[in-house]
Amino acid sequence: MNKSQTLIKILVVDDQPLIVEELCEFLESSGYRCVPCNSSSEAISAFVADPLIGLVLCDLHMPEMNGIELTQHLQKLAGKHRAFESILLTGRADKQDVIKALRIGIADYYQKPVDLNELLEGLQRQEASLRERHKSDQLGHLNQKLQNLAESIDDLYQDMESARRPPQSDYQPSSPQDSNEGTWQQIPTIFKQLSPRQLDVAKLVSKGQTNYQIACDLGITENTVKLYVSQVLRLTHMNNRTQLALALSPNAPSNHHRQTAY
């Protein structure tokens, strides 16, 4: 690693100040920023106060809380919205401690006296893993924002279409293809809870159109069509598109409408 500093900070925790000092001096010379602590309570306060702490390097055997208990406490504080990786240092390699540490999600452990170069490589691996997790989280948030934006645009388009559409009482079919529009008035009652756009999608599904064709007809994205189809199936208690198409077919018997409405 070069000497340029990384944004991720390392929380270094050990009840022996000389060890903390030595570790911090080495890691800072390798480009990391360290937060030194000599107790678990001090480490908890530092972790809460500094959201840039993403790596925790702590001794296993300490007063107050040991390294495993400290990590578990930090995990509770972090919840699902703050990612960090923890590495243990131990002077005694107890098998049960190692198993417990791995079970709660501690990334790695090193035996004292620590090979500093080996430790540095381990920290670099965990930093890379942490950055990948951050990227995945950011992409997930971005995808959600894009979906929300698509839904908002579609709602706006729907409102514009409603404003342009003449009053229902004045509407006349514009072509023979639309001459059966009146049959939509006799759809099963359960479909009348749908929004105008949801009903538009349901009608096109009943005509056998694909998501791509529906998207082109309505001027929306395929993903938005999928979202509407999923909503329609859930609201009408239908199992699939075929059942939905049969329920909305103009030739479907009324008793079939009643069956598919529940």
d(CA 220, CA 229): 13
CATH number for the domain harbouring residue 108: 3.40.50.2300
| Residue 119 shares a structural domain with residue 21 | yes
Which of these three, 107, 139, 171, is where a domain ends? 139
Find the mean pLDDT for residues 212-224: 88
| Residue 131 shares a structural domain with residue 13 | yes
User: At residue 119, does pLDDT exceed 90?
Assistant: yes
| Residue 21 shares a structural domain with residue 99 | yes
Beta carbons of 58 and 89 less than 8 angstroms apart: yes
| Residue 128 shares a structural domain with residue 192 | no
User: At residue 2, does pLDDT exceed 60?
Assistant: no
| Residue 17 shares a structural domain with residue 135 | yes
User: At residue 134, does pLDDT exceed 80?
Assistant: no
> Which residue, among 226, 228, 237, has the nearest Cα to 189 in the 3D structure?
237
Identify the weakest region by mean pLDDT among 21-25, 145-149, 206-210: 145-149
**Element (DSSP H or E) covering residue 104:** none
Find the mean pLDDT for residues 45-66: 93
| Residue 86 shares a structural domain with residue 206 | no
| Residue 50 shares a structural domain with residue 124 | yes
Percent of the chain with pLDDT over 90: 33
- 163 inside domain: no
Beta carbons of 128 and 134 less than 8 angstroms apart: no
pTM: 0.52
CA distances from 39 to 29, 93, 149, 253 (A): 24, 21, 47, 76
Q: What are the helix and strand counts (H, E) for the chain?
A: 10, 5
Q: Provide the domain count of the chain.
A: 2
Residue 140: what pLDDT?
63
| Residue 96 shares a structural domain with residue 14 | yes
- 38 inside domain: yes
CA 195, 199, 201, 202 torsion: positive or negative? positive
- 175 inside domain: no
Q: In this predicted model, what pLDDT tens digit does every residue of 138-154 receive, in sequence order? A: 666 666 677 667 666 76
| Residue 135 shares a structural domain with residue 200 | no
Residue 11: what pLDDT?
97
d(CA 103, CA 91): 20
Residue 186: what pLDDT?
64
**Mean pLDDT, all residues of the chain:** 80
Domain membership of residue 199 as a residue range: 184-260
Find the mean pLDDT for residues 70-80: 93
Residue 262: what pLDDT?
39
Burial of 148 (0-12, 13-18, 19+ CB in 10 A): exposed
Q: How many CA atoms lie within 13 A of 201 on its CB side?
A: 25
| Residue 190 shares a structural domain with residue 122 | no
| Residue 126 shares a structural domain with residue 195 | no
- 231 inside domain: yes
| Residue 193 shares a structural domain with residue 129 | no
User: At residue 230, does pLDDT exceed 90?
Assistant: no
User: At residue 53, does pLDDT exceed 50?
Assistant: yes
Residue 240: what pLDDT?
87
Q: In this predicted model, what pLDDT tens digit does every residue of 156-190 receive, in sequence order? A: 666 666 666 555 544 444 444 444 444 445 677 77
